Structure 1
Amino acid sequence: MKKSALLNSELSHLTATLGHTDEITICDAGLPIPSTTHRIDLALTLGIPTFAQTVDVFLKESQIEGVILAEEFEQFSPEHHQALLQRIEQEKKLTGKEISISYITHEAFKSRTHQSKAIVRTGECTPYANVIFQSGVTF
């Protein structure tokens, strides 16, 4: 049995096969997911698992170098937005790597998800609790 925190086989496979600059979206329960993009559906019921829980586990398994967020996230869900920024700051300190953060409109964000290698759907019901991570390298 795996010893690390990530037990979901699909998500584990995704993290093991990421290449440099691959994009992965972690989203709330309502974000539309393109039929052409691989969906990893973790949602069990409203709020389970949370966006934050999913991000935390993903960051323990993956090196990131970039973050893309919808501009509306900060305005409509300021507490969740701030919590995510704190997680990114912790990740910078833990890895010693720079992580860029950029913002685009929610409409542009939804279009950008088409480039994701996979979209991980959580049970989160907080507006705009979505992130696109750009994979980095550990060396």
Structure 2
Amino acid sequence: MKRTGILHAELGGALATLGHTDLLLVVDAGFPVPRDAHRIDLALAENLPDLRTVLALIADELVVEGVVRAENVPSHNPRLDSWLRDRFPDAGFSTRPHAAVLGELAREAKVIVRTGAFEPWGNIGLYCGVDAPRWFGGEGVVVPEEYAGRV
């Protein structure tokens, strides 16, 4: 039996398929998941599981270089925005119009994980990155400028 980390077989397997620049969306209970999306539905009941728990568990397994959320989050759900910035301190942050998160961003995502969250604008995109020190730490390797600060 697996001792730690994500025990959900489908979610763990999906995370293992993600590579650099792939987008994973972790969404609330009301998110309109596209019919053809790779959907992993964890929702059991209201706030079971909640958004932050799922994001934190995923963050422990992925290198996240970018976080995208609806442009309403910083002003209309500042506690969530603050939590995201604390949890992903090395990631770049961006916003999109709410309609774009529900539409074009959802179509771009490689995987969409639905939570039971009843959280306003609780739809968060995570762009996968690379572990720069491990990737570029070899002797004689020239570190690209965009990763120099992370090595």
Aligned positions of 1:55-94 closer than 5 A: 55-89=55-89, 92=90
For 1:37-69, what per-residue CA distance to the aligned partner results, in whole angstroms no more than 9, with x for missing partners? 111000110011110000000001111111111
Runs of 4+ displaced beyond 4 Å: none
The offset of 1:131, in angstroms, is: 0.7
Larger Rg belongs to: 2
In 2: Cα distance, 1:15 partner to 1:38 partner: 12
Q: Secondary structure at the match of 1:61?
A: coil
The offset of 1:3, in angstroms, is: 2.4
In 2: Cα distance, 1:30 partner to 1:76 partner: 18
The offset of 1:80, in angstroms, is: 1.7
Unpaired runs of 5+ residues, structure 1, are 93-98
Structure 1 counterpart of 2:124: 131
TM-score, normalised relative to structure 2: 0.83
The offset of 1:4, in angstroms, is: 2.4
Structure 2 counterpart of 1:100: 92
Structure 2 counterpart of 1:121: 114
Unpaired runs of 5+ residues, structure 2, are 136-151
Count of residues paired in the alignment: 131
The offset of 1:76, in angstroms, is: 2.3
In 2: Cα distance, 1:48 partner to 1:101 partner: 26
In 1: Cα distance, 2:4 partner to 2:18 partner: 17
**Which is bigger in relative contact order (C-alpha 8 A, separation at least 6)?**
1
RMSD between aligned alpha carbons?
1.0
TM-score, normalised relative to structure 1: 0.90
AA aligned to 1:24 is L
The offset of 1:20, in angstroms, is: 1.1
Percent identical: 36
